[in-house]
Homo-oligomer: A and B are copies of this chain.
Amino acid sequence: MHKEILKDIGEKELINRLGKFMPKNQVLDDCALIKTKNDSLLVNNDSLVENIHFNDITISPQDLGWKAVVSNISDLVSSGSKRTIGITISLILPPETEWVWVEELYRGINKALKKYGGIILGGDCSSGKQKTISITALGIQGELKLLRNACKPGEIILTTGIHGLSKLGFMVQNQITFGNDIFLSKKIISKSIEHFCRPKITQNFLKNLIKSRSNKKIKRIGCTDSSDGLFQALQDLAIASDCKAIINYEKIPKDKDWPEGDKWDEYYFFGGEDYQLVFSLPKKWANKLSKLDKNIKEIGFFTKGKGSIEFKDHKKNNILNNSPFKHF
């Protein structure tokens, strides 16, 4: 069966078709219009490039659309966004791209927006060699500002969930084999593919954060997401906040079927794309919050010192010598 490709459709008809993915009341114009009510807005921008961030073998276009939205909304949430207004989508696609690929991408985008809120505000499409999805997401700042530079010595470091599964999912999709000494259960394999292809955003995080706060004067929290891996997230917090993160390896939440060994520590800390939140809170607040949400785990604390990471168990400090997530 001959599949329709973009070159056959032509630019005018393509823009016309893309317009149909937008909400009915939205007019395709030079700009999108957003009404605000004395709100502060959060803006985030993220690009996914073919063969750098994704390829047709490891992820379907529908999953890719979902993931592109999640990666942007995760950045909004990790800054304290209480509601996503919407996204603009800038696509670059080779003329040989099949139209069904674009449809599937938008299906994934719209599924994620339906789940996490927000609409398509606009977008454009250009021809190019590599498929590229560049999304700009807009959200409304809630009452707590979540910033990389707001961690303080003495605060407890927490994370909303398990890391490394997305990296494992990526490797499974690439049919990488792990050697005979490694046993991976069916459960962890399907879970890891799910984490890689359809990552989730921790919902109710901000609500629970506010609910568990006893000191209403605190308006700024140190936080980021682990899109580039747990290690990178910790390092970004430590450097921006200029304090030292002491990590308790034993407390790191792992999947119960996660294998042991240096290689698996590396996948865990440098894998990326897990979209968990990594943040710090005063002890009392941290305790209250982890009772409200059982997935939230304490993994260490911040102390005075140069912006850096140290493991409580010194033998584990060799993890730090591994090279982080690298795109260039």
B36 touches A328 (CB 8 A): no
A218 interface residue (CB < 8 Å to B): no
A117 interface residue (CB < 8 Å to B): no
Q: How many chain A residues touch B (Cβ–Cβ < 8 Å)?
A: 66
Q: Assuming A36-B38, A47-B92, what are 14 further A-B pairs, CB within 8 angstroms?
A: A29-B148, A29-B149, A29-B224, A30-B75, A34-B41, A35-B40, A36-B39, A46-B124, A47-B126, A49-B92, A49-B127, A53-B126, A132-B132, A136-B136
Against B, the Cβ 8 Å flags (1 = close, 0 = not) of A129-142 are 11010101011010
A-B contact pairs, 22 of them (CB 8 A): A7-B328, A27-B240, A29-B79, A31-B42, A31-B75, A31-B78, A31-B79, A34-B43, A36-B36, A36-B38, A37-B38, A41-B41, A44-B122, A45-B88, A46-B124, A49-B92, A52-B126, A52-B127, A127-B327, A129-B130, A132-B132, A134-B134
Contact surface of A with B, Cβ cutoff 8 Å:
6-7, 9-12, 14, 27, 29-47, 49, 52-53, 75-76, 78-79, 81, 88-90, 92, 95, 121-124, 126-130, 132, 134, 136, 138-139, 141, 145, 147-149, 224-225, 240, 324, 326-328
A30: contacting residue among B33, B40, B78, CB under 8 A: B78
B327 touches A126 (CB 8 A): yes
A32 touches B42 (CB 8 A): yes
Contacts of A145 in B (CB 8 A): 33
For residue A328, give the distance in angstroms from its CB to the closest CB of chain B. 5
Contacts of A89 in B (CB 8 A): 45
Give the number of times this chain occurs in the complex, counting copies.
2
Give the complex CA separation of A124 and B33 in angstroms: 24
A43 touches B138 (CB 8 A): yes
Given A11-B327, A11-B328, A132-B92, residue A122 in contact with residue B45 (CB < 8 A):
yes
Contacts of A134 in B (CB 8 A): 45, 47, 90, 134
